[in-house]
Amino acid sequence: MLIRTPRASDEKEFAVTPRKLYQQRRQFMKQCAAGAAWATAGWLLPSESSASLIPSNPKRSPYSTTEEWTDKQAATHYNNFYELGYGKTDPSRRAHMLITEPWTVTVEGHCEKPGTYSVEDLIRSEEIEERIYRLRCVEAWSMVIPWLGVSLGSVLKRLQPTSQARYVAFQTIMDPENLPGQRRDVLDWPYVEGLRIDEAMHPLTLLTVGMYGKVLPNQNGAPIRIVVPWKYGFKSIKSIVRIRFVEEQPPTAWNRATPHEYGFYSNVNPTVRHPRWSQRRERRIGEFGKRPTLMFNGYEEEVASLYAGMDLSKYF
């Protein structure tokens, strides 16, 4: 991956995004700024078991940012979830196609407690807290969202990984009969992701079951997903059905699809240019202007030590 300052002749974001989608996004931001709400699909009713996990008054995490939250309508109606479609509004329109009951997570690999767990088995409701995290998309837009969840590290410790577990691999649901995006070969389905074990154990990494005080809506990765706030959003895998402790670096969906564009680490690094656009600036959803992109999405103080001595232009 080359590091260079983008030229004036470089393609802008609107030039590499389909024009129709770009225009939809601009119109959406105008609506958000004016306080308008889309009359599209709403927040799906949560299952009784999932809803029971969400505390009525969760404690606020000290890791939370004090930045203003992104409008809930924006965060739940303008996002990526390719299993439900490739447009930003497809996930909310097709959220009903994701079947979340019953739901189990299979744990396997180098650990002392493999098995099949319910979400309630993995997440202790009394440990759930609210964390206000930034989420940065590789396409140069970002949000600030109040997530509800528990430290992924606390869950993984209970599963007792062995000394052979150097990485943790995750897999999303595979259901092409119901999920239209999986009927196309845009990616090698099912969607998979992975973290180094120390990244997964870092206290910032969140195993998430809710947002904005409610259970996760389907379009945002119900019933259980990860949020890794210092990495690009595609690393925060949704609708997890499998956790695997492995010794070797696992394959990841976007790295496998286009390795010259998406590395395994995928840390937010504005000095490393995506081959098709610059990462130096970003647009917060609901705002018109752009702002400088922060190293590690603003979490440099907390996570830079994880990558001490690494060439982050090589291990992008």
**Per-residue model confidence (pLDDT) at position 16:** 38
pLDDT tens string 238-282:
999 999 999 999 999 999 999 999 999 999 999 998 899 899 999
**Per-residue model confidence (pLDDT) at position 45:** 46
Burial of residue 65, with CB atoms counted within 10 A of its CB: 0-12 exposed, 13-18 middle, 19 or more buried = middle
* The residue type at 108: E
CB 25 within 8 A of CB 299: no
Tally the C-alpha atoms within 13 A of residue 89's C-alpha that lie toward its C-beta: 14
**Per-residue model confidence (pLDDT) at position 25:** 47
Q: What angle do CA 30, 35, 36 make, to 5 degrees?
A: 75
Separation between Cα atoms, residue 252 and residue 191, nearest integer Å: 8
DSSP codes joined into one string, 256-278: HH-TTT--SS-B--TTS-BTTB-
Architecture in CATH of 15-51+73-307: Alpha-Beta Complex (3.90)
pTM score of the predicted model: 0.85
CB 236 within 8 A of CB 156: no
Separation between Cα atoms, residue 16 and residue 24, nearest integer Å: 15
pLDDT tens string 189-243:
999 999 999 999 999 999 999 999 999 999 999 999 999 999 999 999 999 999 9
CB 141 within 8 A of CB 242: no
Burial of residue 60, with CB atoms counted within 10 A of its CB: 0-12 exposed, 13-18 middle, 19 or more buried = exposed
Ordered by start, the domain boundaries in the chain are 15-51+73-307
Per-residue pLDDT of the chain (316 residues; tens, 9 = 90+): 434 333 333 333 333 343 333 344 444 444 444 333 333 334 444 455 567 889 989 999 999 999 999 999 999 999 999 999 999 999 999 999 999 999 999 999 999 999 999 999 999 999 999 999 999 999 899 999 999 999 999 999 999 999 999 999 999 999 999 999 999 999 999 999 999 999 999 999 999 999 999 999 999 999 999 999 999 999 999 999 999 999 999 999 999 999 999 999 999 999 998 899 899 999 999 999 999 999 999 999 999 999 999 999 999 9
**Per-residue model confidence (pLDDT) at position 52:** 80
Helix (DSSP H) and strand (DSSP E) numbers for the chain: 10, 13
**Per-residue model confidence (pLDDT) at position 148:** 97
